[in-house]
Amino acid sequence: DIQMTQSPSTLSASVGDRVAITCRASENINIWLAWYQQKPGKAPKFLISRASNLESGVPSRFSGSGSGTEFTLTISSLQPDDFATYYCQQHKSYPRTFGQGTKVEIK
């Protein structure tokens, strides 16, 4: 199975900050990487596919980059609605595997 590792596990930031979350795959997954956002008690929300394709309706302050084994989710200017947990997922092969999550909390 492909292992996905996110860093950091927790990120403390302020409104307006630029934040970046890293996701590393245990093997080459090309661009087959997705990002999700989850708020407490809610279902996850799909943000990005194929490493950098923003889902319709997702604010442009979110962006994804990377290929191969290293990927980044960047929020250019953190908004109050962005405090949540973020997960990466590889969609290259089965079983689909998620990273352990990165919690973005208020500093």
Partner 1 sequence: EVQLVESGGGLVQPGGSLRLSCAASGYTFSNYWMSWVRQAPGKGLEWVANIKEDGNEKYYIDSVKGRFTISRDNAKNLLYVQMNSLRAEDTAVYYCTRDGSGTSNNWGQGTPVTVSS
By CB under 8 A, name the binding residues for partner 1.
Answer: 1, 32, 34, 36, 38, 43-46, 49-50, 55, 87, 89, 91-92, 94-101
Dist CA 18 CA 93 (whole Å) = 32
Using the minimum distance from each CB to partner 1, give the nearer residue, 1 or 70.
1
Which of 81, 44, 46, 42 has the alpha carbon at shortest distance from 64? 46
Indicate the residue among 19 and 89 with the shorter CB distance to partner 1.
89
Question: Of 17 and 55, which has the nearer Cβ to partner 1?
Answer: 55
Instruction: Determine the 3-state secondary structure of 46 from DSSP.
Output: strand
